[in-house]
């Protein structure tokens, strides 16, 4: 897609870029996107000038952070979606060996695993999305690409899970996404209470099963 316009990037430059991305992820998530750029630069141990050399705009930095997150998620969902469809993927034969601690019990394990992945890696993403949407950046190429990929993987996983009778058929992509961001928000404030987190997942997953 973009093959030649980015030269290899000098060693130190690459390191600084990585540091900035890490610092931005951390700072944006914990202190909100209103945090001054200077703060992020300081957290990354570089000057503001360096920040702006790598990301020409605060918004661009924001986007880069999101893109990285989305890409990670897309990678994970891709694996799950491929596995689930591969013949033999997700314990293919009939003999319900199961045992998958409640996550499914009747196919759809990959779907629920993907749901977890998306939720767990989306922490803090909420505010980012809002910010970008507000800036009218909805369709920035990179974002769009990863977003589309994730959407596609989830669609396949959802369909498979419904075929397997693991998820109620009324649920479509719209509801799925709403539940994903909702669960993300719910779980976000339960960082330190794993039991509560598990229970929230259980409630949502049970609610998604056919009734």
- The residues binding a copy of itself (CB under 8 A) are 31-32, 34, 126-127, 130, 134, 168, 170-172, 174-175, 177-179, 181-187, 189-190, 193, 196, 199-200, 202-208, 211
* Closest among 38, 52, 50 to 10, alpha carbons compared: 50
* Closest among 67, 54, 57 to 25, alpha carbons compared: 67
Q: CB of residue 127 vs DNA: minimum separation in angstroms?
A: 14
| C-beta closer to a copy of itself: residue 78 or 159 | 159
Q: CB of residue 172 vs a copy of itself: minimum separation in angstroms?
A: 8
Under the criterion CB under 7 A, does residue 56 sit at the interface with DNA?
yes
* Closest among 106, 6, 97, 90 to 54, alpha carbons compared: 6
Which among a copy of itself, DNA, none contacts residue 52 (Cβ within 5 to 8 A by kind)? Answer: DNA
C-alpha 59/C-alpha 65 separation (Å) is: 10
Binding DNA (rule: CB under 7 A), the pick from 54, 125, 153, 156 is 54
| C-beta closer to a copy of itself: residue 36 or 86 | 36
| Per-residue binding letters, 4-43, with DNA (x by CB under 7 A) | -----xxxxx-xx-----------------x-xxx-----
Judged by the rule CB under 7 A, the positions of this chain that interact with DNA are 9-13, 15-16, 34, 36-38, 45-50, 52-54, 56-59
């Amino acid at each position: 897609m973009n093959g030649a316009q980015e030269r290899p990037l000098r060693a130190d430059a690459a390191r600084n870029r990585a540091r900035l991305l890490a610092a931005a992820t951390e700072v944006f998530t914990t202190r909100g996107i209103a945090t001054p750029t200077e703060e992020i630069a300081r957290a990354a141990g570089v000057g503001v000038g360096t920040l702006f050399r790598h990301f020409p705009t605060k918004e661009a930095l924001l986007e880069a952070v999101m893109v990285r997150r989305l890409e990670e998620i897309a990678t994970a969902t891709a694996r799950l979606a491929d596995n689930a469809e591969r013949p033999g993927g997700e314990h293919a034969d009939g003999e319900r060996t199961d045992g998958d601690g409640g996550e499914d019990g009747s196919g759809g394990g990959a779907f629920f695993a993907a749901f977890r992945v998306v939720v767990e890696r989306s922490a803090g993403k909420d505010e980012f999305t809002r910010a970008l949407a507000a800036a009218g950046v909805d369709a920035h190429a990179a974002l769009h690409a990863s977003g589309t990929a994730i959407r596609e993987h989830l669609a396949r996983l959802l369909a498979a899970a419904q075929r397997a009778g693991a998820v109620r058929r009324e649920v479509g992509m719209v509801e799925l996404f709403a539940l994903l961001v909702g669960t993300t928000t719910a779980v976000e404030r339960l960082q330190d209470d794993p039991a509560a987190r598990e229970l929230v997942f259980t409630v949502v997953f049970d609610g998604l099963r056919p009734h």
